[in-house]
Amino acid sequence: MSFRPVLLALALTTGATTAAAAQDNKVQPAVADSVTAAMDLMAPMMGRMTAAMMLGVLDVLNDPATVEKLATFNRRYFDALLGKGFTREEALRIVMAVGVPMMPGQG
Who wins on pLDDT, 49 or 39?
A: 49
Identify the CA nearest to 102 among candidates 72, 46, 49, 60.
60
Question: What does the alpha-carbon distance between residue 24 and residue 18 come to, in Å, rounded to a whole number?
Answer: 10
Lowest-pLDDT range of 23-32, 34-43, 53-62, 65-74: 23-32
* Domain residue ranges of the chain, discontinuous segments joined by +: 1-54, 63-99
For the stretch 56-92, pLDDT in tens is: 888 989 999 999 999 999 999 999 999 999 999 999 9
Question: What does the alpha-carbon distance between residue 27 and residue 58 come to, in Å, rounded to a whole number?
Answer: 41
For residue 43, the SS3 value is helix
Identify the CA nearest to 35 among candidates 58, 59, 6, 77.
6
